[in-house]
Chains A and B, each alone.
Chain A
Amino acid sequence: MGVTCVCQVPVVEGKSVQQTVEQLHKRLEQLGAVKQGSFFVDCETYHATTNTGAQPSKLLYVMHNSETPLSCLVLFDGGPTLAADANFDVLMVKLKSHFQNAKGHKVESRGARYRYADFLIKVGTVTMSSSARGISVEVEYSACVVPGDCWNLMKEFMQSFLGPSVPDLPSVFSSKAEGLFAPADCMDTMNQYLELFSKIRKQQVLPGSGVR
Chain B
Amino acid sequence: MSGVPAVRVSIESSCERQVQEVSLDGVETYVPPLSMSQNLAKLAQRIDFGQGSDSDEEDPNGQSRVSDWSKQDLEGEEGLVKFQPCSWPWDSVRNHLRSALTEMCVLHDMLSVIKEKKYMALDPVSQDPIVVRTPQVFQLISKKKSLATAAQLLLRGAEKLNKSVAESQEQWRQRDFNAELLHLRSQWKLRKVGDKILGDLSYRSAGSLFTHHGTFEVIKNTDIDLDKKIPDDYCPLNVQIPSDLEGSAYIKVSIQKQSADIGDLGTVSLFRKPLKAKPGSQAWHLKLEAAQNVLLCKEIFTQLSREAVQIKSHIPHIVVKNQIISQPFPGLQLSISLCHSTMDKKNQRASPDKTKPDDHLYVLEHNLHQLIREFHKQTVSSSVMPHPASAPFVPKRLRVAGPMAYDKSEISSLQQSEGLLEKIVKQAKHIFLRSRTARTIDSLASRIEDPQIQAHWSNINDVYESSVKVLITSQGYEQICKSIQLQLNIGVEQIRVVHRDGRVITLSHQEQELQDFLLSQMSQHQVHAVQQLAKVMGWHVLSFSNHVGLGAIESIGNASAITVASPNGAYAISVRNGPESGFKVLVQFPRCQAKDLLKSDVLQDGKWNYLRGPYKEVHWSKMEGRNFVYKMELLMAALTPYP
Chain A residues proximal to chain B, CB less than 8 Å? 1, 67-73, 83-86, 186
Contacts of A70 on B, CB cut-off 8 Å? 398, 401-402, 406, 411
30 A-B pairs with C-beta separation under 8 A: A1-B405, A1-B407, A67-B407, A67-B408, A68-B405, A69-B408, A69-B411, A70-B398, A70-B401, A70-B402, A70-B411, A71-B401, A71-B402, A71-B403, A71-B404, A71-B405, A71-B406, A73-B405, A83-B402, A83-B403, A83-B404, A83-B405, A84-B402, A84-B403, A85-B399, A85-B401, A85-B402, A85-B403, A86-B402, A186-B405
By beta carbon, the residue of chain B nearest A68 is: B405
Expressed in whole angstroms, the Cα–Cα distance for A94 and B406 within the complex equals 26
Contacts of A73 on B, CB cut-off 8 Å? 405
Contacts of B411 on A, CB cut-off 8 Å? 69-70
Expressed in whole angstroms, the Cα–Cα distance for A71 and B405 within the complex equals 6
Expressed in whole angstroms, the Cα–Cα distance for A84 and B405 within the complex equals 8
Expressed in whole angstroms, the Cα–Cα distance for A68 and B400 within the complex equals 12
> Among B399, B401, B402, B405, which residue has the most Cβ atoms of chain A within 10 A?
B405
Please tell me if the beta carbons of B407 and A68 are within 8 angstroms of each other in the complex: yes
Chain B residues proximal to chain A, CB less than 8 Å? 398-399, 401-408, 411
Q: Count contacts between A and B, CB distance < 8 Å.
A: 34
Contacts of B406 on A, CB cut-off 8 Å? 68, 70-71
Q: How far is the CB of A11 from chain B (nearest CB, A)?
A: 30
Report, nearest first, the 3 A-B pairs whose CB atoms are least far apart.
A85-B402, A186-B405, A68-B405
Expressed in whole angstroms, the Cα–Cα distance for A186 and B403 within the complex equals 11
Please tell me if the beta carbons of B402 and A72 are within 8 angstroms of each other in the complex: yes
User: Do most interface residues of chain B lie in helix, strand or loop, or is the interface mixed?
Assistant: loop
Q: How far is the CB of B355 from chain A (nearest CB, A)?
A: 55
Contacts of A69 on B, CB cut-off 8 Å? 408, 411
Contacts of B399 on A, CB cut-off 8 Å? 85
Q: How far is the CB of A188 from chain B (nearest CB, A)?
A: 11
Contacts of A84 on B, CB cut-off 8 Å? 402-403
Contacts of B402 on A, CB cut-off 8 Å? 70-72, 83-86
Expressed in whole angstroms, the Cα–Cα distance for A49 and B221 within the complex equals 78
Q: How far is the CB of A168 from chain B (nearest CB, A)?
A: 26
Expressed in whole angstroms, the Cα–Cα distance for A1 and B411 within the complex equals 13
Expressed in whole angstroms, the Cα–Cα distance for A186 and B408 within the complex equals 13
Contacts of B408 on A, CB cut-off 8 Å? 67, 69
Expressed in whole angstroms, the Cα–Cα distance for A69 and B278 within the complex equals 58
Expressed in whole angstroms, the Cα–Cα distance for A1 and B408 within the complex equals 11
Contacts of B403 on A, CB cut-off 8 Å? 71, 83-85
Q: How far is the CB of A115 from chain B (nearest CB, A)?
A: 12
Q: How far is the CB of B414 from chain A (nearest CB, A)?
A: 10
Expressed in whole angstroms, the Cα–Cα distance for A69 and B409 within the complex equals 11
Q: How far is the CB of A89 from chain B (nearest CB, A)?
A: 12
By beta carbon, the residue of chain A nearest B404 is: A83
By beta carbon, the residue of chain A nearest B394 is: A85
Known: A1-B405, A83-B402, A84-B402. 12 other contacts (CB 8 A): A67-B407, A67-B408, A68-B406, A70-B401, A70-B406, A70-B411, A71-B401, A71-B403, A83-B403, A83-B404, A86-B402, A186-B405
Q: How far is the CB of A43 from chain B (nearest CB, A)?
A: 16
Expressed in whole angstroms, the Cα–Cα distance for A68 and B398 within the complex equals 13
Q: How far is the CB of B404 from chain A (nearest CB, A)?
A: 7
Contacts of A186 on B, CB cut-off 8 Å? 405
Expressed in whole angstroms, the Cα–Cα distance for A147 and B403 within the complex equals 22
By beta carbon, the residue of chain B nearest A82 is: B403
Expressed in whole angstroms, the Cα–Cα distance for A52 and B399 within the complex equals 36
Expressed in whole angstroms, the Cα–Cα distance for A153 and B497 within the complex equals 36
Expressed in whole angstroms, the Cα–Cα distance for A186 and B402 within the complex equals 12
Expressed in whole angstroms, the Cα–Cα distance for A72 and B399 within the complex equals 13
Expressed in whole angstroms, the Cα–Cα distance for A83 and B402 within the complex equals 7
Expressed in whole angstroms, the Cα–Cα distance for A102 and B401 within the complex equals 28
Q: How far is the CB of B409 from chain A (nearest CB, A)?
A: 10
Expressed in whole angstroms, the Cα–Cα distance for A69 and B405 within the complex equals 8
Expressed in whole angstroms, the Cα–Cα distance for A73 and B401 within the complex equals 12
Contacts of B407 on A, CB cut-off 8 Å? 1, 67-68
Contacts of A1 on B, CB cut-off 8 Å? 405, 407
Q: How far is the CB of B185 from chain A (nearest CB, A)?
A: 46
Q: How far is the CB of A91 from chain B (nearest CB, A)?
A: 12
Expressed in whole angstroms, the Cα–Cα distance for A1 and B409 within the complex equals 10
Contacts of A86 on B, CB cut-off 8 Å? 402
Q: How far is the CB of A183 from chain B (nearest CB, A)?
A: 13
Expressed in whole angstroms, the Cα–Cα distance for A67 and B408 within the complex equals 6
Expressed in whole angstroms, the Cα–Cα distance for A68 and B404 within the complex equals 9
Q: How far is the CB of B403 from chain A (nearest CB, A)?
A: 5
Expressed in whole angstroms, the Cα–Cα distance for A203 and B344 within the complex equals 86
Q: How far is the CB of A164 from chain B (nearest CB, A)?
A: 31
> Among B402, B404, B411, which residue has the most Cβ atoms of chain A within 10 A?
B402
Contacts of B401 on A, CB cut-off 8 Å? 70-71, 85
Expressed in whole angstroms, the Cα–Cα distance for A67 and B401 within the complex equals 12
Q: How far is the CB of A121 from chain B (nearest CB, A)?
A: 15
Expressed in whole angstroms, the Cα–Cα distance for A187 and B398 within the complex equals 20
Q: How far is the CB of B412 from chain A (nearest CB, A)?
A: 11
By beta carbon, the residue of chain B nearest A73 is: B405
Q: How far is the CB of A197 from chain B (nearest CB, A)?
A: 19
Expressed in whole angstroms, the Cα–Cα distance for A157 and B411 within the complex equals 29
By beta carbon, the residue of chain B nearest A37 is: B408
Q: How far is the CB of B79 from chain A (nearest CB, A)?
A: 163
Expressed in whole angstroms, the Cα–Cα distance for A53 and B135 within the complex equals 134
Contacts of B405 on A, CB cut-off 8 Å? 1, 68, 71, 73, 83, 186
Expressed in whole angstroms, the Cα–Cα distance for A86 and B403 within the complex equals 9
Expressed in whole angstroms, the Cα–Cα distance for A68 and B407 within the complex equals 4
Contacts of A67 on B, CB cut-off 8 Å? 407-408
Expressed in whole angstroms, the Cα–Cα distance for A83 and B401 within the complex equals 10
Q: How far is the CB of B407 from chain A (nearest CB, A)?
A: 5
Q: How far is the CB of A138 from chain B (nearest CB, A)?
A: 13
Expressed in whole angstroms, the Cα–Cα distance for A69 and B398 within the complex equals 12
Contacts of B398 on A, CB cut-off 8 Å? 70
